[in-house]
Each structure stands twice: as C-alpha cells, then as structure tokens.
Structure 1
C-alpha cells in the first residue's frame, strides 16, 4: 500500500484494517501522533486527511485511498499549522502536552478552513479534543492569537 505522509511517499505492507494511527507510529515511525482513548473520543490521535482533521485510531488505513496525510510532524509546513504552532509557543498553551498534538492538528484544520473563527466555530472544531490539564482557555486564546497573525 502506498501512503503520502507529510509530503513523503511511503510503501507499507500492513493489513487494510490496521488503524492509521499504528501505521503512522509503529510502521513509519512518526510518534508525535498519540494514542489516547482508542475509541476516537479524546482527539490525541488527530491527523489531517486532505486537510480535514480525523481521528486516526479508528480509521482503517485501507480507507485512506491515496489521500494526503499530515501529522503533527508535518503540520508546521502548512500556513495555518505554522501560525498555530507559533501561537502555542507565544502564549505557552501547553501544560503536560500529551493532548497537544491533537489540539494543534484540530486548530490548524480550523484555521485553514476558517481564518477568523468566532468562539462558536472554535468550540465546534475543538469539541472532542480532551485536555486533562484543562488548558481550554489557553487553547482558545492560542487559536485567536494565530488568527490575528
């Protein structure tokens, strides 16, 4: 199976029903995308599929079908991703950091689709991204900061 991840071509020999998360982490070796709940409810495993934020823990690699995959390792190469990463650093959004790859991926997809999101759009886009440290206020401010950049 051929995959395009962060602009690079990868050929993998895996079962079609293997979750994309395990292909990215264990086969390709890009460990920035995290395993959280395993049932697509926490957002730690979020990647972009053709620019859309998706949960990779429940997405079978066979369903990817040659589409472009972006992980946390590559999102900084996109305009929205670079803005989000800078905002996260500028405002020190991260606390423990475990959820942050998924938070960044969801926020970058939001900004790419909606460069000036209001609070309602931010809430909708970030729903399902859980933060056990409760940095939701800083995450919202980070998104707004990136939108202004």
Structure 2
C-alpha cells in the first residue's frame, strides 16, 4: 500500500491500493447513499467539505440520486482549489439490480455518466462501476462488459 498526500493544506495521508488496471484507489471513501436522499445543494456542500478533508474516493449510484451532487461537488472543489483537476478524484458508481441484464448495463452506465459528467465536463469515465445488488446473472454481465469494453 502506498501513502499519498491528497490535501496539501492539512498534509493528511490516505493509503491507496494499486488496482490491476494500474489506477490508484484511495482505501478511504465516502458513501453518498441515504434514505431519504439529502437535497442536492446540501449534499454538494457536504461533499466539498469532505473532499477538502481528504475524501477523494466518493461512492455514488443512480439509485441513491446523488450523482448530480457528486459532479457539482467535484467542479466546486476544483474552482476553490481544493483539487487540481478531475484526476485527483476516484469515483465509484453502481449498476442497480433492475439494470443488471445484458442489454441494461451500457445504457445504465451512460445514464450515470451523463448525470454527473454534464457538470464536470472534463472526462467521460467513472473509475469503478460495480453491481449494487446481485439479483441477475453475473455471467451475462461479464459477457456484456467484455463486449462493450467496460
């Protein structure tokens, strides 16, 4: 495990692991799921403060209704100089079980990307996209993921 300084003003250290892809993932992350969902403007403020405190791994999902807030928070954190650019963040989103079938994976991923990248405008990728609830065939998901290059 490596340690990386992710907040130059406070010198906070968060360990990272190197994934098989070569990307580094902070082992400390912040989840955004809550029932009922936190209002977007309130969540954006919370997330910017969290990013400033050292949380550069944010977990979101379409089902949580938090993807827009995550995108806005990344933009605001960059505007305030909390992060240098989008690459300073590691974003996890999830495929909900109702979309966990071969023809549902890619449209769900595109919807998630559009929901929050409309705000960030600097890339069209999420670092990690995982199945939130396994109620469908994992084999069919793996085949679809290989087919579309996910």
TM-score surpassing 0.5?
no
More strand by share: 2
Query: In terms of Rg, which structure is larger?
Result: 2
Instruction: State the structure with bigger RCO (CA 8 A, min sep 6), 1 or 2.
Output: 1
TM-score by length of 2: 0.30
